[in-house]
Structure 1
Amino acid sequence: MSLLSPLHLLHSFSSTVATKSTASRITATPSKLRFSVVNATQENGNSGGSKNDRDEDPSFNPFGFVTDNPSSRSAIQLPESPAEDGNVGQMLYRTEDKGKEYGSTIKSGKLRWFVRETGSKESRRGTIVFVHGAPTQSFSYRTVMSEMSDAGFHCFAPDWIGFGFSDKPQPGYGFNYTEKEYHEAFDKLLEVLEVKSPFFLVVQGFLVGSYGLTWALKNPSKVEKIAILNSPLTVSSPVPGLFKQLRIPLFGEFTCQNAILAERFIEGGSPYVLKNEKADVYRLPYLSSGGPGFALLETAKKINFGDTLSQIANGFSSGNWDKPTLLAWGIADKYLPQSIAEEFEKQNPQNVKLRLIEGAGHLPQEDWPEKVVAALRAFF
C-alpha cells in the first residue's frame, strides 16, 4: 500500500518540525511561516480539563494540513525507530483495532453497517439513535452513548454508509449517495436493528447529519423527541469551505484524498486540539483506502444545500413540527454561530428549546460529552 501524496507531503514536512513532547502550531502567511508552540498536555480529553484556545480562521484550505494541524503533525512524525518512518503499514497496524468500542458489523440488504450499541432492549427508558455528520463517524458518540445507557437507555450509533467502518460502495455500483438512498438505507437498518417506534433521535453535523433531520421530517410518527447538536438549520447557515471545495472539479478529487481531512475538520470547528489517539481513529478510514474520500466527495456533490436547509427550516417551524426538540449547542463552534440556533428556536418556540453548551465547539459530543449527557438526560 502506498501513502497518499498529501500524507507524504505532511510527513516530510512534519518530520522536520515536530517533537515527541510538543506539537508546534504553524500558521502560513503570505511572506513567512509564523510558529507558536502548543504544549501536548493541553490536548483535550473526555473530561472537562484544561483546554487550549484556537483563534485561527475556520476556512478550510486543502493545502493547510501541511502547516496547521497539530494532532496530525505530531502523530505522523519522524519516530524513534527509523524503520517506521513513512511506513503506512506500520501506521495502520498501530491504529486498526482502535475506535470500535461497542461496535459490530450489521448486514442490511446488500450493505454492511458498522453500528455501536450500548444498553439492551430491556432498557427501561427507551431507545436513542445517534446520527453523526460528515466527515466524521459514530466514534464521536462513544462516551455519550455509554453514559446514556448507564442512565437506562438503549443506544445505537451507526456509521453512515460511506463513513467510518461501514461499507463504502463505489458510486454507481449499488449506492449513489443521494438523500433518497440514505433515507431508504436508514429505514432498512432500523428494521434490522428492530428499533421500535417512536424512539429518541440525536442528530449532529453536515451532509449526512442534515439527512438525519430530513428523515425525521418525513417520519415524524417514528420520532418521540429529537435532540439536535450543532447542525445547519436555517437558510442563513454558512457552508464550510471543505464542502464547497469538494464540489470543484478535480480540486475536489484532490481534497477528498487528504488522509487527515476528518480530524482537520474537527479541529477547525473546535476550540481544542484532538489527542493523537482520537485523531488516529478519525484518520483511519481515510488512510486505509480512497473509498471514504470518494464517498464524501459524492455526497457533497449530490446535496443541494439551499433546498435541504430550506426544507429543514420550514419543516421544523411552528405549525409543521410539534415534537419536543432540544438544541444542545456548542457555543464555540467555528462553523455555525450561536445565532443559527437562536434563529431556529424563534421559528418554533413552543416546541424547540435551546440549551447552550459552554466550552464546546462543532462536535459537543466530542468536546465535552459530560455536558451533552446532562442535557440529554434532562430532556429525554
Structure 2
Amino acid sequence: MPLSLLSPLPLLHSFSPTKSTVSRIRATQSRLRLSVVKATSEKGSSGNVPEDDPSFNPFGFVTDNPSSRSAIQLPESPAEDGNVGQMLYRTEDKGREFGSTIKAGKLRWFVRETGSKESRRGTVVFLHGAPTQSFSYRTVMSEMSEFGFHCYAPDWIGFGFSDKPQPGYGFNYTEKEYHEAFDKLLDTLEIKSPFFLVVQGFLVGSYGLTWALKNPSKVEKIAILNTPLTVSSPVPGLFKQLRIPLFGEFTCQNAILAERFIEGGSPYVLKNEKADVYRLPYLSSGGPGFALLETAKKINFGDTLGQIANGFSSGSWDKPTLMAWGIADKYLSQSIAEEFEKQNPQNVKLQLIEGAGHLPQEDWPEKVVAALRSFF
C-alpha cells in the first residue's frame, strides 16, 4: 500500500505483496525515514531552511501526518488489507451524505442538499476550498436544515465526487470557467432569489468570493470561514509545491495530501473514517490530483487577493458579511481577519471561534452553526 499511495501510475487492485516484497518495502521505508530525519537535521543546523518549515520536503508525508500513518504502514497480514483495491472497496460508499449527481451544462456536479425549497428561512449555499470537498459541511448543513434553512453544498468541478475533466477538453480550471460553471449550477438548481453564501478555503474558496463580488445582487448575506482575504495572506507550502515544474506533478498524486493539509491547519487529528473520505477521490484516480495541480497553476494569487481586499472594502461592498474565524488556523492568522474587518467595519463583522483551525466546519461544526444561525 505505501508504494501505491506514493505512485502516480495506475494501481492494480489485485496486487497482494509477498513476504519478501513486504520485507524489502519495510527496509526501504526505514531508509527513507532515516534519510528524511537526517536531511531535516542538516537543514536546520545549517541555518538555510528553518526546522519548522516542511514545505519542500517531498517525503514529509511519510512521517508527519498522524491520521495517515495507518494507511502508510504495511499491516502484519498484507493479504487481508494490503492493497489500494481493498481500501477503495472499504471506503467507496463513504462520504456521500445528502448527496446526488446533477448535470449543469456539460458538467456533472456532486451536490449535497438538506432541507426543502419551501424552507421558511431561505437558501444557504456552502462552498469549500482546495484541496478538500463539500463533505466538510455535512454536519453544519444537516443542523442548519433543522432550523429551517434549505442548504446546498456542491463539490467544485475537479474536487470530491464532481467531474474532473482533463485540462484542454472542456474545462481549463480558470477563475472565469469556475464562475461560469457555478452560474450554470445555480440555474439548474433553480436558485433565483438572493441566497446566503458561505465560503471557506484556498483557490476555489477564493473564487467563491470573487464570484460574489461580480454578482452582489444574487447574495443576501455572506459568511466567510477561514479564507485568504488580504494581499498579505500567506500561500501554504502545498500550493507552492504544485507550481514547481515536475515536482508539482509528483506532489499532486500524493493520495493523502487532502487529509494532510487539513491536519496541517488544525489543532486536531482526523479520525480515520473522516480521513478515508478526503483520501478517496485521490485514491480512485489521478484526475483529482491533476485538477488540483491545474487550478494551482492557473490562479494569480496576488491578483485574486487584491480583488477580494478591494472588492469588500468600504464604499465597494454593502452586503452584511460575517467572518466566523477559527483562531487556531496554522495557515491564516487571526490578524488577517482583523485587517479585513478594518477595511469595512460598517458591513463586515468578525466572530472568533475558539478551538477551531483552518476548517472550522470540520473542527467544531456546532460553533459554526451557532454563528450562522445568529447572523442569517
Which protein has the larger Cα radius of gyration, Structure 1 or Structure 2?
2
Residues 208 and 45 (structure 1 numbering): CA distance in 2 closer, same or farther, change over 3 Å? farther
- Aligned-residue offset at 1:76: 4.0
Cα deviation, 1:332-365, whole Å, max 9, x if unaligned, reads 0000000000000000000000000000000000
- Aligned-residue offset at 1:232: 0.2
Partners of 1:58 and 1:269 within 8 A in 2? no
Local SS of the residue matching 1:24: helix
Cα deviation, 1:177-224, whole Å, max 9, x if unaligned, reads 000000000000000011122000000000000000000000000000
- Aligned-residue offset at 1:277: 0.4
Cα deviation, 1:304-345, whole Å, max 9, x if unaligned, reads 000000000000000000000000000000000000000000
Structure 1 stretches lacking a partner, 5+ long: none
Residues 45 and 265 (structure 1 numbering): CA distance in 2 closer, same or farther, change over 3 Å? farther
Between the aligned partners of 1:153 and 1:44, the Cα distance in structure 2 is 52
1:37 aligns with 36
1:198 aligns with 194
Query: Number of matched residues?
Result: 374
Local SS of the residue matching 1:359: coil
- Aligned-residue offset at 1:70: 1.1
- Aligned-residue offset at 1:84: 3.2
- Aligned-residue offset at 1:14: 16
Partners of 2:229 and 2:340 within 8 A in 1? yes
1:162 aligns with 158
Between the aligned partners of 1:125 and 1:358, the Cα distance in structure 2 is 27
- Aligned-residue offset at 1:78: 3.2
Local SS of the residue matching 1:21: helix
Q: Sequence identity, in percent? A: 91
Partners of 1:10 and 1:66 within 8 A in 2? no
Q: Which moved more, 1:156-165 or 1:32-41?
A: 32-41
Residues 81 and 28 (structure 1 numbering): CA distance in 2 closer, same or farther, change over 3 Å? closer
Partners of 2:119 and 2:148 within 8 A in 1? yes
- Aligned-residue offset at 1:49: 40
Between the aligned partners of 2:38 and 2:361, the Cα distance in structure 1 is 24
Which residue of the other structure, out of 217, 229, 233, is the alignment partner of 1:233?
Answer: 229
Task: Report which of the two has the higher share of helix.
Answer: 2
- Aligned-residue offset at 1:44: 32
Cα deviation, 1:48-94, whole Å, max 9, x if unaligned, reads 999999xxx57464321011111111234333543134311100000
* TM-score (norm. length: structure 2): 0.87
Local SS of the residue matching 1:114: strand
Between the aligned partners of 1:118 and 1:292, the Cα distance in structure 2 is 26
- Aligned-residue offset at 1:36: 18
Structure 2 stretches lacking a partner, 5+ long: none
Residues 75 and 307 (structure 1 numbering): CA distance in 2 closer, same or farther, change over 3 Å? same
Local SS of the residue matching 1:136: coil
* TM-score (norm. length: structure 1): 0.86
- Aligned-residue offset at 1:26: 18
Cα deviation, 1:68-127, whole Å, max 9, x if unaligned, reads 111111234333543134311100000000000000000111100000000000100000
Q: Which moved more, 1:2-11 or 1:290-299?
A: 2-11
Cα deviation, 1:136-194, whole Å, max 9, x if unaligned, reads 00000000000000010000000000000000000000000000000000000000011
Residues 329 and 72 (structure 1 numbering): CA distance in 2 closer, same or farther, change over 3 Å? same
Between the aligned partners of 1:296 and 1:170, the Cα distance in structure 2 is 11
